[in-house]
Amino acid sequence: MSSTVSLEGKRILITGGARGLGQAFAEAAVAAGAQIAIADILEDVGQKAANEMGAVFVPLDLAEPGSIENCMAGVVDQLGGLDGLVNCGAIATGIGGPTMMSIEVEVWDTVMDVNVRGTWLMSKAAVPHLAAGDNGKIVNIASDTAIWGAPKLMAYVASKGAIISMTRSMSRELGEEGIAVNCIAPGLTLVEATEYVPENRKQHYIQGRSMQREQMPGDITGTALFLLSDAADFVTGQCLPVNGGFVMN
C-alpha cells in the first residue's frame, strides 16, 4: 500500500525487521524517505532484507540485555542518531494452542523476557538518542488479541496487554523529553509468524470484521508511518487497533 506520508530525514530503527510485519514497516519507511536500521535475531535473513531495501542491519537478541545495548550503539553509530523506534520484535510462533492450565513456566518466562522486557529495554536504550533530537517517536506493536482476550494464547496475549499498558506509562514519563509513544494493535495478519494459526481462528477473524477479508501487512504500514511522522507530534499514549473492525475502542 502506497503512502503520501513523508519521513524524509528521519532515522528509524525497526526491531524484528528481517521478515513479516517488521520488514513491511521497514520497506514502507524507506519508501517514505527514512534512513532505516533493522535489527533481528535472524542475522542472515536480516542482512539480506537490509541489503535489498538499502537499510542497515544490526543483530539483536531481545532476550539478552547486552545485545540490546550493543544493537543501539551500532545503530546510532551507523545512522548518526535516532528519530524513531518501532518495537516490532517479539515471539509469536510456537506458543499458541495450550490452555492457561498447560503453559510451561519456561515458555511464559521466555515470552515475557522477549516481548515485554525486551521492548522496555530497547525503548530505554533509545530514549537518550530520541531526546537529543526533535519530536522523537516510539511505536510499540501490540496485538488486538490483548483487547478481545484470545483463548489458548495467554502468554502472548498477556505480553501484548503489557505492551499497551507500558505505552501509556512511557508516554507519561517521556512527554517531558518531547518523545511521543504510541502503539498499534494489529489483527491477525498474513505473515510468516501467523502461518501456524488454525484455519478456524483465521475464519473467526475474517467473519468478525466489519471489512470481511484477510488482513495484509500493507493494511498496517500507513498507521505506523503516520505515528512516526511530524503529523503525529501531539499524539501520544494511544493504542490504535488496526484490524478491519474486529475490535473497536
Catalytic residues: 156
Neighbouring residues of 192: CB distance < 8 A, sequence distance ≥ 6: 19, 20, 93
CA distances from 76 to 11, 28, 57, 87, 126 (A): 9, 21, 12, 16, 9
Taking a C-beta distance cutoff of 8 angstroms, is the pair 188, 247 a contact?
Answer: no
Task: Give the strand pairing for 84-87 and 11-15.
Answer: parallel
Grid coordinates given for 99? 490452555
Grid coordinates given for 41? 535475531
Cα 238 off chain centre by? 14
Q: How many angstroms separate the CA atoms of 82 and 35, rounded?
A: 10
CA distances from 77 to 38, 58, 70, 130, 170 (A): 14, 11, 11, 14, 25
Alpha helix positions (H), the chain? 20-31, 43-53, 65-79, 105-111, 118-131, 145-148, 154-174, 199-208, 218-228
